[in-house]
């Protein structure tokens, strides 16, 4: 099998310095790639070879579109072509979010579904491990809708402390107390908007970052609401948060049910809500897996190791002695 490219000038960016992108694809897929001029010969198992060919075509089109390509983009091209959950996305059809600072393109089939679902549904639950883009993509989507005038404000909320939201012992005013718990949300904001716009919109109230306890008694209309780290809510807190949604609003709830920090065996509000609201019209559920992790590849291996240990613990036979 081989693939031929039209424009040789793009190939250094596609192949990478010293062909390191080709080596990355070989390592991930167990194939051999040999380039001569504008032709790459691909040998290996048929399915893997076809995936390599399609991933190279995807990278070529990205470079032709003016995008920068590194290892993250190579991994994304392979992931999107493989269809991590059995549903590959054709090159050029990936959904994207356009913010003031950058265009965010889906890096896994599940991310593609997530981005589309956020645009189609009033309420979305996104569950799965760290590093899959649950919070980041939600914040970027919120920023895009705010700057496009589709909503009037963004409300970002988290359980400020895992179990009790006890902030009084921390020094400083309320913002000083809350900010350390909200830092991941700030990081996503600064990646989507210039710093001066983040500060301006925070001061104007167009972007609000608040602990979950501050949501009680409010009705949030014309807003994009994100409840992050929702696995650390109780069912009562979750119901309170979900019922804040008002007219022309959207809500995205994110969390990882394998990292519940509630004390005393309390039931997670996220687990409870997913079970209770399944099948309710207007609500959709996106479930990420370790195949969707887009951070450093070591993150995927760490998650896999923990999952394997947990599975071994579940199936371990009882000691008859």
pLDDT of residue 85: 45
Average pLDDT, the chain: 86
| pLDDT category of residue 150 using cuts at 50, 70 and 90 | very high
The CATH architecture one would assign to domain 96-312 is 3-Layer(aba) Sandwich (3.40)
- Give the mean pLDDT of 71-88: 76
Residues 81-125 have pLDDT tens digits of 875 444 556 666 677 888 888 888 888 899 999 999 999 999 999
Q: Is 103 exposed, middle or buried (0-12, 13-18, 19+ CB in 10 A)?
A: exposed
Please name the residues in contact with 298: beta carbons below 8 A apart, sequence gap of 6 or more.
none
For residue 51, give Cα distances in angstroms to 40, 42, 110, 134.
14, 10, 18, 26
pLDDT of residue 165: 44
Homologous superfamily of 2-82 in CATH? K Homology domain, type 1 (3.30.1370.10)
User: In 70-217, which ranges are E strands?
Assistant: 96-98, 103-105, 123-127, 153-158, 207-211
**Residue ranges covered by each domain of the chain:** 2-82, 96-312
What does the CA dihedral 80, 81, 84, 86 come to, rounded to 10 degrees? 130
Residues 139-148 have pLDDT tens digits of 999 999 999 9
Q: Who has greater pLDDT, 314 or 251?
A: 251
| 73-87, 149-163, 264-278: least confident range | 73-87
Residues 18-34 have pLDDT tens digits of 999 999 999 989 999 99
Element (H, E) at 225: strand 223-227
Model confidence, pTM: 0.81
């Amino acid at each position: 099998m081989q693939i031929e490219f039209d424009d040789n000038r793009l190939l250094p960016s596609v192949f990478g310095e010293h062909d390191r992108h080709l080596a990355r694809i070989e390592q991930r897929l167990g194939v051999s790639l040999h380039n001569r001029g504008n032709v790459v010969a691909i040998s290996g198992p048929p399915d893997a070879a076809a995936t390599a060919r399609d991933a190279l075509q995807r990278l070529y089109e990205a470079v032709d579109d003016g995008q920068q390509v590194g290892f993250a983009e190579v991994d994304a091209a392979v992931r999107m072509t493989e269809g991590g959950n059995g549903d590959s996305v054709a090159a050029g059809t990936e959904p994207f979010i356009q913010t003031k600072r950058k265009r965010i393109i889906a890096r896994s089939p599940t991310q593609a579904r997530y981005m589309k679902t956020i645009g189609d549904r009033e309420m979305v639950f996104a569950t799965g491990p760290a590093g899959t883009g649950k919070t980041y993509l939600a914040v970027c989507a919120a920023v895009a809708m705010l700057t496009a005038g589709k909503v009037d404000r963004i409300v970002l909320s988290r359980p400020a402390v895992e179990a009790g939201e006890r902030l009084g012992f921390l020094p400083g005013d309320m913002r000083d107390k809350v900010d350390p718990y909200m830092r991941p949300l700030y990081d996503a904001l600064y990646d989507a908007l210039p710093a001066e716009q983040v500060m301006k919109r925070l001061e104007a109230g167009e972007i609000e970052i608040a602990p979950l306890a501050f949501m009680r008694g409010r009705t949030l209309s014309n807003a994009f609401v994100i409840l992050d780290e929702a696995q650390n809510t109780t069912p009562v807190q979750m119901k309170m948060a979900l019922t804040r949604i008002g007219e022309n609003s959207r809500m995205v709830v994110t969390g990882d049910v394998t990292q519940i920090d509630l004390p005393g065996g309390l039931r997670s509000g996220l687990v409870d809500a997913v079970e209770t609201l399944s099948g309710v019209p207007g609500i959709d559920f996106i479930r990420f897996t370790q195949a969707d992790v887009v951070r450093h590849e070591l993150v995927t291996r760490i998650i896999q190791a923990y999952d394997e240990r947990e599975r071994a613990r579940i199936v371990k036979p009882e000691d008859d002695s």
